[in-house]
Amino acid sequence: MPVYEYQCNACGDNFEMRRKFSDEPLKECPKCGGEVTKLISSTGFALKGGGWNAEGYSNKKGGNAPACPSGGGCAGCPSAAA
């Protein structure tokens, strides 16, 4: 089960709660009963080493993929949709 971080709008307490994905977000502070806000926290997930990027998605010949003809990134590029 994931751990979610909350902050109470009334007393300012920050706390974490282990909740199921199917559970509704917490609405009240366990200390004072005030309304809480679910916070966005950084994760402990990191990709390190060669792994999937170098072995799973690279060119079979070991080279890099060809550059985009427009000279920019592929997001929103008409060539990427083709």
Read off the pLDDT of residues 3-46 as tens digits, 9 standing for 90 and up.
899 999 999 999 999 999 899 989 999 999 999 999 987 777 77
Establish if 23 belongs to a structural domain.
yes
Establish if 82 belongs to a structural domain.
no
Does pTM surpass 0.85? no
CB neighbours (10 Å) of residue 29? Answer: 19
Establish if 73 belongs to a structural domain.
no
Establish if 60 belongs to a structural domain.
no
Establish if 31 belongs to a structural domain.
yes
CA 33 to chain centre: 29
Establish if 59 belongs to a structural domain.
no
Written as one string, the DSSP assignment of 57-73 is SS-TTS-PPPPPTTSS-
Range of the domain at 17: 3-38
Report the number of distinct structural domains present in the chain.
1
What does the alpha-carbon distance between residue 36 and residue 5 come to, in Å, rounded to a whole number?
Answer: 10
- Report residue 80 as tokens: 């990427």
Establish if 45 belongs to a structural domain.
no
